Amino acid sequence: TSPTSSSSIPDDDDHHDDSTRDFGLSSWLPSYHTTPDKVIDPTGGGNAFLGALAVMHARGAGLEEAARWGNVAASLAIEQVGMPVVSVDERGKERWNGVLVGERMKELECRSAGGDEGLATRKERFDAQT
């Protein structure tokens, strides 16, 4: 069963299995791109998001941080047709589509700072605009 399941299944002794519980996850995270001008082809964006989320969560990141990494990965995947362009700059730093991934992550973290309350507030503003 899913660790985020809200149901609890009795085990052989009719005790409820504590490994299946609702963690109460209710955050809303903005995407990296706020306008469509750099979005060229959305193909692969979802796969990139889920891949990065899974890897970062497996490495110990919480779900919210892992989702931010997923957003960054998806943002890089949709900026061109095909795979992102990976290069190494003169300082030996790896760049994806010409940007340092860590810098993009910091930018997204700054935009979504404020924890769950800040995220909820931004979602309410977004919902009010639509």
CA-wise closest residue to 71 among 37, 34, 40, 36: 34
What is the per-residue pLDDT for 28? 78
Pairing label, strands 94-96, 86-88: antiparallel
Cβ-based neighbour number of residue 63 at 10 Å:
15
User: In the numeric block, which tokens belong to residue 29?
Assistant: 């995270």
pLDDT (tens, 9 = 90+) of the chain, 130 residues, equals: 334 433 444 445 554 444 444 566 667 788 899 999 999 999 999 999 999 999 999 999 998 899 999 999 999 999 999 999 999 999 999 999 999 999 999 999 888 775 444 444 445 555 555 5
Q: Which two tokens stand for residue 10?
A: 């009795």
Q: Is the pTM of this model over 0.75?
A: no
